[in-house]
Amino acid sequence: MATMRSPRLIPLTLLLVTLPALGSDLMEPWTEQQVAEAIGASAAFHPYPAWSERARWDAFRERTELREVLDAAVERARKLRDETFPALPATAYLDYQRTGRRTAFQSLQRRREDFLHAFALAECALGTGEYLDPLLDVIWAFCEESDWCMPAHTKGLLDPNEPPVDLRSTRVGFHLALIDRVLGEALPPELRRRLRHELDRRLFEPYLTRDFGWLRATHNWNSVCNGNILKAALLEVEDSTRIAKIIVHAQNALCLYLTGFDQDGGTAEGISYWNYGFSHYITAAHLLNLYSDGRLNLLAPARVREIAQFPVRIELSPGKYPSFSDGGEARGFSPGWVLHAADALDLPTLRAFVGARNEFAQPPNELDSFLEVALLAPPASASDRFVPEPFNYLRGIDWMISRANPDNPDGLVLAVQGGNNGENHNHNDVGTPIVHYRGESLVVDLGAPIYDRGFFSPQRYTYLVARSLGHSVPLVTGFEQFAGKTAASITQVTHTKEVDTFHADITSVYPPGAGLARLIRTVALHRDQGEGWIELHDTAAFNVSSATFESALITYAEADTRPAGAVLLKGENGGLRVEYNPEQFTVEVTEFDAAEAKLPTAKENPTIRRIAFRGKQPSEAFECRLKMIPLP
């Protein structure tokens, strides 16, 4: 007989004693006594309309955009009834452990979720019972799964003594809890008991009795996992002592999540992970406020207000953001949580920003996202107008955003980062600029590849997107930047009406073998002529006389090197003239296949080009000055 291992009990005070000293704009940990008193005085908790409250569901149809979403959900459900529900074989689960590929099994998981969301939302839309049996079958199938995790986040097939808890399992758990809450009375009571048993076994019990690294993380895993578990527990856990423990556990962990943002609300993880992580924080805060009648307020810390303004401060052009690290460039936001944040935090600029940018292009297709929009996002005013600041600087993550003409959404924009090479989702990219014009980046940051096992292993810096060879930074005597927090810039930033300047000492980001005495990078956006222009100026001094040096620009644009002393970059919408000193530097263009580099945007941009401005002769000092002027 196999020996059963007892779960390792983790004191709920664990996080209390490991929290760093928190600033006054952050959040202090709550105690069980505080939470018990707050929820003991709460009013009845009814955050969502039940399936049987047909008047409320019919009222949603009075809004054109919601009626279209519900009609689309019904049509999607009708089609899925005729399709085969996908199996999840063990061999497919093991594909990641065996080959490092994660997409095949995850696509099957996503397909299963399509069935769950379509049937749940369609049944709520109709209220006729037509999709209750199909929904019952899907929920039962989820209950029968060995685990709800992505294989990339586990060690292989399930160890039943220690069920894993990850981003997906917490998301699935919350969605099932929400469906039970909204449609519960229409579902068989035996199914509801089974579902709650699985939630307790897979989420709540491990959460309170075991340790997980994401409980102490400062990145998106913290808010996603804690936020989903907290929301699911608020909907399903009836025992007041148990729910108080879960609230304390979640809030203590979320104290650490907020420390992952700088004092200006910036995150080095970029806009995609801001959207992913912070959306869970805001929606958990909303639900907890309803549950506690406002007595337990995760929105109270001043840092939260700054974090909410991150997209407003870093936008390049409508819907486009810096793709530093593993962040993506294009991004739209759910209107529910972000407009709730704007109103709850008294941020009219954020509300105007989201309304003016029409961030609602992707219709909600889940019960969760639909209710979020329906309940939290009244239609934005057609008169919303947003004009960004000419200059923003996020001090902790060391990002500067400079706009030549903020009134012109197609105008010239510079984004440049300093920071260090030991950040979450790090790339070796200190000093990387992005030059954005007419809605496209002509000097780019490649962002994240398609994730696989190798990218989260010691092989990470063999990937073009993560190594400095794939960034617009110098190559010094053949050496690239190295990884680690000690590889850091020392930055000074200035802003005037005429010019914004980013001045960084990046000497320490290169290894000793490079022989550097000093390397200064200055990037400036000038507003003194035409549509503005950008200067990139590198000054390098060496301890040896035979050093080599090259500055580089990474682009998807066509590169014409024929003009004397210039390179012409021609994009889809605009272009740049990059001027250099041909007496001191030669130009070489190297092309990389974007598919081989595993870029998710390879179809749109199949070729990556690295334009190297290389010093003609070895020397003990180099000065490379590039002038980038928008083409008419």
Provide the 3-class DSSP secondary structure of residue 501: strand
pLDDT at 586: 97
pLDDT at 334: 82
Query: What is this structure's pTM?
Result: 0.93
Q: Which two three-digit tokens encode residue 518?
A: 């000093």
> Reading across the β-sheet that carries 516-526, which strands appear in turn?
490-495, 499-505, 516-526, 533-542, 621-630, 575-579, 566-570, 558-560
pLDDT, tens digit, 9 for 90 and up, residues 270-320: 999 999 999 999 999 999 999 999 999 999 999 999 999 999 999 999 999
pLDDT at 562: 94
CA distance linking residue 626 with residue 228, whole number of Å:
48
Centre a 10 Å sphere on the Cβ of residue 422 and count the other Cβ atoms it contains.
14
pLDDT, tens digit, 9 for 90 and up, residues 433-448: 999 999 999 999 999 9
H/E stretch holding 400: strand 399-403
Name which of 533, 532, 510 is nearest 521 in CA terms. Answer: 510
User: If 0-12 CB within 10 Å is exposed, 13-18 middle and 19+ buried, where does residue 2 land?
Assistant: exposed
pLDDT at 357: 75
Residue type, 397: I
Q: Which two three-digit tokens encode residue 406?
A: 């903020």
Instruction: Assess whether pLDDT exceeds 50 at residue 18.
Output: no
pLDDT at 3: 34
- What ranges do the domains of the chain cover? 47-263, 391-630
pLDDT at 166: 97
Gyration radius of the chain over CA positions: 26
Cα dist from 378 to 66, 311, 358, 385, whole Å:
11, 20, 13, 17
Q: Which two three-digit tokens encode residue 397?
A: 């993550």
Name which of 534, 506, 538, 510 is nearest 522 in CA terms. Answer: 538
Instruction: State the residue for tokens 């069980």.
Output: 32
pLDDT at 358: 62
Q: What would the mean pLDDT of 249-265 be, rounded to a whole number? A: 97
Instruction: Assess whether pLDDT exceeds 60 at residue 11.
Output: no
Q: How confident is the model at residue 359 (pLDDT cuts 50, 70, 90)?
A: low
| The CATH number fitting domain 391-630, selected from 3.30.565.10, 3.30.530.20, 2.60.40.10, 2.70.98.70 | 2.70.98.70
CA distance linking residue 273 with residue 457, whole number of Å:
20
Residue 577 near residue 565 (C-beta atoms within 8 A): no
Spell out the alpha helix ranges (H) of 215-358: 220-236, 240-259, 271-291, 302-308, 310-314, 335-344, 348-357
